[in-house]
Amino acid sequence: YRLADNLLLILENNNNKNMKSDLQDILLFNYYKGMLKLYRNNISQARDYINYVFKNCSKKMRNRIFVPFFIVNFMTGKIVKEKSLEIYKCEYLKPLYKKLVNCRFDFSDELRNLENIFLKYNVLKISEYFLDYIILRMNLIKVFKLFCVDNKLEIFYVIEICKMNGIKLDGSDITTWILNIIDKEIVKGYLSISKGVIVFSKVNPFPKLDNLVF
């Protein structure tokens, strides 16, 4: 990783000196820099680079990079429109897409079916590790709006919505999950185990996922 970082830094410095760089070279440079950030587990920076490329590249290239574009955006709280899957010839993502946008935890079969494709684009690792946390955040937002009182939410409601959406967790499992997403600042607040509640931040309980690192 350090060697790749140093190489990209040299290339970036050369590009700054030579402003005549071809757009295609600039886009490829930013794409690989984004993928390097992904390897380094910095999803938010990876998103910024990949989004820049996606915005400025040809439709043919968008078809090729749509998978990492879709994943890094979903991980940071932005869901692409379903019709984009057809536009960029990625209809094979639809089964997984439908599970994710409906806040379902039981997407393991859909992810397994995409294993080779996700390995090709180097997004399998973060998908296996992080998708559950993002789905949990989405479900927390739902029950927060319905049942939160004075910024306090009973863990019971979290367990119930998780069951409704395809996963059975007992109290200790959900406690671990909640502690993890608080630690990663996917949500802000703290867990009162003795009272069985999540106490959310009054200011910003569900912050933008702009500094997401795992």
Residue 6 pLDDT: 59
Residue 214 pLDDT: 62
Residue 170 pLDDT: 74
Q: How many domains does the chain have?
A: 2
Shared domain check, 30 and 50? yes
Which domain-ending residue is among 128, 151, 181?
A: 128
In a domain, 205, yes or no: no
Closest by CA to 201, choosing from 144, 132, 139, is 144
pLDDT in tens, the chain (214 residues): 455 555 556 555 655 545 445 788 888 888 988 988 888 878 888 999 999 999 999 999 999 999 999 999 999 989 999 999 999 999 999 999 999 999 999 999 999 999 999 999 989 988 998 899 999 999 999 999 999 999 999 999 999 999 999 987 777 888 899 999 999 889 999 999 899 999 999 999 999 887 766 6
Distance (Å, whole) CA 23 – CA 105:
40
Report the alpha-carbon angle 169-172-175, nearest 5: 90
**Long-range contacts of 75-79, Cβ-Cβ distance < 8 Å, separation of 24 or more:** 75/43, 75/47, 75/126, 75/130, 75/131, 75/134, 75/209, 75/212, 76/43, 76/44, 76/47, 76/208, 76/209, 76/210, 76/212, 77/134, 77/208, 77/209
- What is the extent of the structural domain holding 175? 130-200
